[in-house]
Amino acid sequence: MKYLCPNCRRVLYNRRLKNCGFCGAAIPEELRFTPQEIAVLDRERAVIEEFRQRRVIAEEAADGEFHDPKITPLFNL
């Protein structure tokens, strides 16, 4: 489902915004993320970021020889 600005009908690329990024029209609440949804998104992003950092640490610890195909896919988020 695509969310469109009720004023200019363009896709809302950022549903955290209170106003359309193109025309500046106010975005109705039902088209925006709720604070709860934003909290979930932020948490997911934090988890992904943590995995990413762990992978960097693992690669550094392996001194560039961390290429076992059975292991690396676990870190490919």
Q: Is 17 in the site for Zn ion (CB under 5 A)?
A: no
| Helix residue ranges, H only, the chain | 35-61
Q: Is 7 in the site for Zn ion (CB under 5 A)?
A: yes
- First and final C-alpha spacing in the chain: 24
Q: Is 25 in the site for Zn ion (CB under 5 A)?
A: yes
Q: Is 8 in the site for Zn ion (CB under 5 A)?
A: yes
CB 56 within 8 A of CB 65: no
Q: Is 3 in the site for Zn ion (CB under 5 A)?
A: no
**Cβ 11 to Zn ion, closest distance in Å?**
10
Residue 6 DSSP SS3: coil
Which chain residues interact with Zn ion by CB under 5 A? Answer: 5, 7-8, 20, 22-23, 25
